[in-house]
Structure 1
Amino acid sequence: MPTPRLVRAVLFSLSLSMPVMAGAETVRLANGEWAPYMSQTLRHAGVMSHIVEEAFARQGIQVEYSFSPWKRAYEDARHGRADGTLIWGRTDEREAEFLLSDPVIELNTVLFYATDQGFDWSDTASLSDKTLGGVIGYSYGVDAEERAGLLKIERIAVPEGNYAKLLQGRIDAVLEDLDVGLDSIAKLGLGDKITYHPKPILERPYFLLMNRINPANPAYLEAFNKGLKALRADGSYRRMLDASRAGEYRQ
């Protein structure tokens, strides 16, 4: 049987190893509209919101979401008005300004085009004479090419607006995550008018970003990574993704 002195020593050691968790139980995360992954209109605010929430919950931490346009969500997290934001691709700027989690999901960005117009491409150089549609604040993994003027991307605030521009002939193709694009054109009833090129322009992981301002965030991020690993290990992660792709997160 342990002595009282030993019990006190163990408890003291544990208190030193978890200074953050004892003082704060809620993480504030800036979120945005990116159905079917994140949306205020979906159950659990979408599958990615659900996965992030459940990963934290496995470690006894609650999540409080705030929804806003993506640029504002990023700035709210960067300036400490929120503890972090989800989900984002990796860039040099983001790595400098945030702590990145383990990958939450890997996604493919493809080019959607008008079926009656046809579209083909081989590399980014073959897109130099095209006008592509994008969203303000999104990174598509071709930031350097865009900054250098090798790619022309017209950005707007509302993703669905790009499909209207596409059918009006104002842009040649839309940059979008495959699942997001398919979900959008299905909702708009444009499945017979818009399709996508099978070659992905980008395959990359997406992350939870936690700002460098809150001193608690390194510990929160470590907890999140442990919770995410547990979700994958027991099959919950896969079940949630499958449920989303089956439409079960729609209200």
Structure 2
Amino acid sequence: MAAFVLSALLLVISATLKAETWKITSLEWPPYSGQDLPGQGTAIAELRGVLAAEGIDLEVRFFPWERAKRAAARPEYVGYFPAWPEEVRAGFIGSRPVQDSIVGVLYRIDQPVRWSSIMELFETHRVGLVQSYVYPDLITRAAQEYPDNVNLAPHEISLMRMLASGRMDVAITDPCVTLYIARRHGITNIQASSRPISIKPLVVAFHARTENLARIEFLNALLEPPFKASIPRCQGVEYEMGPVDRN
């Protein structure tokens, strides 16, 4: 019965949204999103494929991340993507996951790092973060507890360079992103810990204006099982997936 109701709902909403073009803002965050990446990135390609199957086109405009989130409030955009749930701003509504992202630790190959907890990592090491990101709570709390050990980078390229040059001991971000950028810049002295901190869903942050409510409901229905968000395979990243925070 529930499946029948869902199918009927999809048919009704789909009829009103067919042939629409959804415009979103995004950032350069390879391999997930990027103007010149194949399919404009794995996450963008996933979202575009889901929508295209229902006759909806997707247009993406790329900005620096803070600007992308501000621009998404303009009426020509339905929202921004990809975002961790923590990055869904007030006045926006997050969708179901389109793809998954790993939050993990990177360090220099000649100085491997071990830690028993995130709080201990911040207490004993210089930790690099990207200033414009809204990190998971356990990372935010540790950064607030040990602010003198926190190094803020304006973007991923700067974070990668600061880590490679020894200006910080570790960096916390999605290792897929950092290692992708490192390869592109010929940086070979950093690696990802095999121990991830958390798995974060990548969601579409829809502006909560009235005309978007049907779009949110429609996309969420498309992202119900059997659809399953996945973590893209990343060169140079191998994880030991034991118990991991998925919040």
**Do both proteins adopt the same fold according to a TM-score greater than 0.5, normalized to the shorter chain?**
yes
Residue among 99, 109, 118 paired with 1:115: 109
Residue among 33, 36, 41 paired with 2:36: 41
Change (3 A) 1:161 1:150: closer
Distance 1:89 1:111 in 2: 17
Residues 98 and 203 in structure 2, CA contact (< 8 A), matched pair in contact too? yes
Superposition RMSD in Å:
3.2
Q: Which residue of 1 aligns with 2:6?
A: none
Tell me the SS of whatever aligns to 1:207. Answer: strand
Residues 113 and 194 in structure 1, CA contact (< 8 A), matched pair in contact too? yes
Q: Which residue of 2 aligns with 1:223?
A: 218
Residues 125 and 150 in structure 1, CA contact (< 8 A), matched pair in contact too? no
Query: Does residue 154 of the first structure (1) align with residue 151 of the second (2)?
Result: yes
Q: Which residue of 2 aligns with 1:3?
A: none
Q: Give the partner amino acid of 2:46.
A: I
Pick the structure with greater CA Rg. 1
Query: Does residue 65 of the first structure (1) align with residue 56 of the second (2)?
Result: no
Residue among 168, 172, 175 paired with 1:171: 168
Which stretches in structure 1 are left out of the alignment for 5+ residues?
A: 1-13, 246-251
Q: Give the partner amino acid of 1:131.
A: R
1:96 deviates by: 4.0
1:150 deviates by: 5.8
Q: Hey, which bits of structure 1, 4+ residues long, moved more than 6 A?
A: none
Q: How many residue pairs end up in the alignment?
A: 225
Q: Give the partner amino acid of 1:69.
A: P
Percent identical:
24
1:33 deviates by: 0.3
1:78 deviates by: 3.6
Q: Which residue of 1 aligns with 2:131?
A: 136
Distance 2:15 2:90 in 1: 23
Q: Which has the higher contact order (CA 8 A, sep 6+)?
A: 1
Query: Does residue 206 of the first structure (1) align with residue 202 of the second (2)?
Result: yes
Distance 2:15 2:77 in 1: 16
Residue among 50, 61, 68 paired with 2:45: 50
**TM-score with structure 2 setting the length:** 0.77
Q: Render the CA deviation track for 1:57-76: whole Å, top value 9, x for unaligned.
A: 22222111110000011111
Q: Which residue of 1 aligns with 2:16?
A: 21
**TM-score with structure 1 setting the length:** 0.76
